[in-house]
Copies of this chain bind each other. A is one copy, B any other.
Amino acid sequence: MSNLPKAVFINEEGPREGFQIEKGNIPTARKIELIDALSDTGLHHMQIVSFVNPKRVPGMADAEEVVRGITPRPGVEYTGLSLNEKGLERALATKRLKVEGRIAMCASEAFLKRNNNKSFAEQEAYNHRVLSIYKELDIPVTRGSIMAAFGCNFEGDIQPAQVLTQLRQIFAIAAEHGVNIELVSLADTMAWATPLSIKRTVGAIRDVYPDLRINLHLHDTRGMAIANAFAGLEMGVDMFDASVAGLGGCPFAGHKSAAGNVCTEDLVFMCEEMGIHTGIDLEKLLECARLAEDIVGHPLPGSVMCGGSLARLRAALH
């Protein structure tokens, strides 16, 4: 229990995760409404759009319009996801987003091919190209990321050794370009992780890179996200991606197989109740979760927005 961090940093990904996958046309103004409401909760980092092919992801065709429409709050960083040079150019062109350099890897080549249409070699080449662009534009690079870090629907289980291989490649690429990687994000992209595999993989990384900061990106397809987050906390992980109301997931099966990231307000509830500081106003965040449900027009999987906070119950008792 002693390893629990004193504070955690939460990256909100609900707008990007959720709106890219929802069926039906969500009006741009309502996307902006949610982002602006989230800006007022104490969150300091939000991924709000993705710059992807609008033919493949029609829900993100209005990405530029969303970015133009928000009212940025001082102290909050807004980012957009890009998977290739074209996406990076679009993100830079908005001039309103924080563009974070990163070396992006995937532990499963089969998934990389499906998701990014690249082989391992092509992904490595892409990382070299994009690092040159970052350098040209003076964009600092401090982050690596590894998709499918715990398992893959097309390759099966991913062992800690495979993650370490990816990580060594990240450091090798970084060294070639003279950049210093301080943080690696491990994504349980297809929800294969258990609390035990989280502990094993994080532990294996800690053994080799004790000072590397670790971020977890945990999908909830099999209901393990909050337990996986707790396992991460116990390993001292202090940075998580999360999705308000549990936004995201499979658009073909309604709310039921919702497979967004770990629900932000449930994660904030767990942390704060365990004495871990998040800097986020849970009651305001619960309002955002209800707003998100109103916007998508169907129930979302978050629990605390239904069960209510304990702070509110405690206040009523005194």
The residue of chain B having its C-beta at the shortest distance from the C-beta of A271 within the complex is: B194
List of B residues within 8 angstroms of A274 by Cβ: 194-197
The residue of chain B having its C-beta at the shortest distance from the C-beta of A300 within the complex is: B256
List of B residues within 8 angstroms of A230 by Cβ: 195, 227, 230-231
* In contact, A307 and B221 (Cβ under 8 angstroms): yes
* In contact, B1 and A302 (Cβ under 8 angstroms): no
List of B residues within 8 angstroms of A220 by Cβ: 303
What is the size, in residues, of chain A's interface with B at 8 Å between Cβ atoms?
52
Instruction: Report the bound CA distance from A263 to B156 in whole Å.
Output: 25
Question: How many monomers of this protein are in the complex?
Answer: 2
Within 8 A of B (CB), among A229-284: 229-231, 250, 253-259, 263, 266, 269-270, 273-275
The residue of chain B having its C-beta at the shortest distance from the C-beta of A153 within the complex is: B313
List of B residues within 8 angstroms of A224 by Cβ: 226, 266, 269-270, 303
Instruction: Report the bound CA distance from A257 to B270 in whole Å.
Output: 17
A223 near B: Cβ within 8 Å? Answer: yes
A137 near B: Cβ within 8 Å? Answer: no
* In contact, B255 and A299 (Cβ under 8 angstroms): yes
List of B residues within 8 angstroms of A231 by Cβ: 230
* In contact, B270 and A310 (Cβ under 8 angstroms): no
Chain A 201-242: CB-based contact to B (< 8 A → 1; otherwise 0): 000000000000000000011111011011100000000000
Chain A 190-201: CB-based contact to B (< 8 A → 1; otherwise 0): 011011110100
* In contact, A303 and B266 (Cβ under 8 angstroms): no
With contact pairs A221-B303, A229-B227, A307-B191 given, residues A314 and B156 touching in the complex (Cβ less than 8 Å): yes
A151 near B: Cβ within 8 Å? Answer: yes
A121 near B: Cβ within 8 Å? Answer: no
* In contact, A256 and B306 (Cβ under 8 angstroms): yes
Task: Count chain B CB atoms within 10 A of each CB in A223, A266, A310 and give the residue with the most.
Answer: A223
Instruction: Report the bound CA distance from A4 to B194 in whole Å.
Output: 13
List of B residues within 8 angstroms of A4 by Cβ: 196
With contact pairs A151-B310, A274-B194, A306-B256 given, residues A222 and B317 touching in the complex (Cβ less than 8 Å): no
* The 10 nearest A-B residue pairs measured at CB: A223-B303, A257-B306, A221-B307, A196-B274, A227-B227, A223-B266, A222-B307, A227-B230, A256-B306, A194-B273
Other A-B pairs, 10, CB within 8 Å; known A4-B196, A195-B230, A250-B306: A156-B317, A220-B303, A221-B306, A222-B266, A222-B310, A223-B303, A223-B304, A224-B226, A224-B266, A256-B306
Q: List 19 A-B contacts (CB under 8 A).
A: A154-B317, A156-B314, A157-B314, A192-B310, A195-B270, A196-B275, A197-B274, A221-B307, A222-B269, A222-B304, A222-B308, A222-B310, A223-B302, A223-B303, A224-B269, A227-B229, A227-B270, A256-B299, A257-B303
